[in-house]
Structure formats: structure tokens, C-alpha cells
Amino acid sequence: MKRVIFNQKGGVGKSSITCNLAAISAVEGKRTLVVDLDPQGNSSHYLMGKPTTGMKDTVADFFEQSVAFNIFNKRPEDFVHATPFNGLYVMPSSPELDFLERKLESKHKIYKLREGLNKLSEAFDCIYIDTAPALNFYTRSALIASDRCLIPFDCDNFSRQALYSILGEIQELQQDHNEGLSIEGIIANQFQPRASLPKQLIQEMLDEGLPVLPVHLVSSIKMKESHQVNQPLIHFAPKHNLTLQFVDLYKVLQGEEIAQPALS
């Protein structure tokens, strides 16, 4: 299973959602890989405990191998690094992604990631892909390479309007490049259960038939604390309310039933 987390809007929690779902997957005994396609490298730093600047064998090196003749015969797994957490691995990001993008586009390497991840699927049960807040070459590569797409959503009207554009772009890419890609669901993040507007927006989206998932992730300082110590919540605060919400979200994505949360 290859799952991409994507939204063109920044600050919606893509990296946090990617890493925390992946960490739960690993705790559940699945050999799990995170591919970090955001040049900022937040997922890589979160899981590895250090910045990726200057690191060797990153996802940028994986892409560069397809257009450069000075790197020979490295396999996709050679760009995978272990994290301190059992069963959890990362293909780390690099600032070099920005410099490579135009070259990769000119060489038509849009399917390179799909080829690599198909090979890595033999070694990993689950692959989670974090993307930059832009529909750029790497995000398109990730959508082409994936089976499922999750869309984090901030509960405000501007984010809702942008959502329709995102859904349209994904649909176009499905038709042109990846008929097997499904929109797995929309994740309400930074949810404020005592405020009326978020509940109203979510209910309206459900009434429209949009695939809003039944677990809504609340805003919590505990997430920022987990970033600071470079530990996903399942390790840092396993009994915290937000952690339990992530566990419920993971169960929903696995097809398991949970107690249905109320919107009011």
C-alpha cells in the first residue's frame, strides 16, 4: 500500500499526519517507510532527530541517479534510512530537490518514483509519502506512484474553497496517469470541537458527498512538543487524546470500525 498525503495549502499538518500514521503502522508490526518529498524536510527531521542538510543517499540522490551518469547502480533501498523506532524507515528529503526539479521535468522522469516504490513495496508493507504544499513535479510523481490519497483540511471556508480545486486536479491526474489512485478521505485537522463553524463546514461537506473521514484531529500543544523531541505521539504520549485520535484514524484507514464521534 502506497499512500500520499497532499494539500497545496501549507500549515495543514501534512508532515505530522504522515509521520504519526506511519509510526502507528510500525508499532502495529508493519514494516513502514516514509518518503519525504518536501525540500523543507520536516518529516525527515521529525523521524530521524536531525536535519538532512548534507546527508548522503537522500530522495534527491535517488532522483539524481536517473539523470546523472556519475552515480551508478544504486538500488531504491540504498536510499532508505532506519529511524530510532522499530520497523519505521525514511527516505529523507534534501534541499537539493529544488535544484533538481527542472532537470527532472526536462528529462520526463515523472514515473521514476513509481518505479522505485514498486520495487520497495516488496520490502515494505506500507509506504507513506509526504509532499510539499504545491502541485509540483514531486507531488505529481507521488500521486502517480500511490494507491491512495489523503487530504488534510483546515476547518475554515478558504480551505474549503481550495479543496474543490485540489479534488479537480487529482481527478485529472487520475484520468491521465493513475487510474488506480483513490481519494481515501479528507482529514479535518486542528479541529475545535467547541466551535460551531468547523462542525457546520464538515456537515455541509458530508452533505455534498465529500469523503470527510469520521475522525477529526484536535489542536493540541502536545503535537508541537512531540516535534521538539523528535518522537511521534504514539511513542511520546501514547495515552494522550490526540494520540488516541490518530490511532482511531489509523483504524478507519485499515477498515476497522470505531465509535462514531458526534459533530454536535
In tens, the pLDDT along 144-199 reads 999 999 999 888 878 888 889 999 999 999 999 999 999 999 999 989 888 888 89
**Highest mean pLDDT, choosing among 3-7, 162-166, 249-253, 256-260:** 249-253
CA distance 84 to 26: 12
Distance of CA 208 to the CA centre of its chain: 25
**97 CA to centre of own chain:** 17
**pLDDT at 44 exceeding the cut of 80:** yes
Model confidence at 260: pLDDT above 70: no
Q: What are 192-246's pLDDT values in tens digits?
A: 888 888 899 999 999 999 999 999 999 999 999 999 999 999 999 999 999 999 9
Per cent of the chain over pLDDT 70 is: 97
Collect all residues with Cβ–Cβ distance below 8 Å to 6 and sequence separation of at least 6: 14, 131, 139, 142, 143, 149, 150, 151, 166, 170
| 70 has a pLDDT exceeding 60 | no
CA distances from 257 to 208, 215, 254 (A): 23, 11, 9
- Domains, the chain, ranges and CATH? 2-253 (3.40.50.300)
**Extended beta strands in the chain, E state:** 2-5, 32-36, 81-82, 88-91, 126-130, 148-154, 182-189
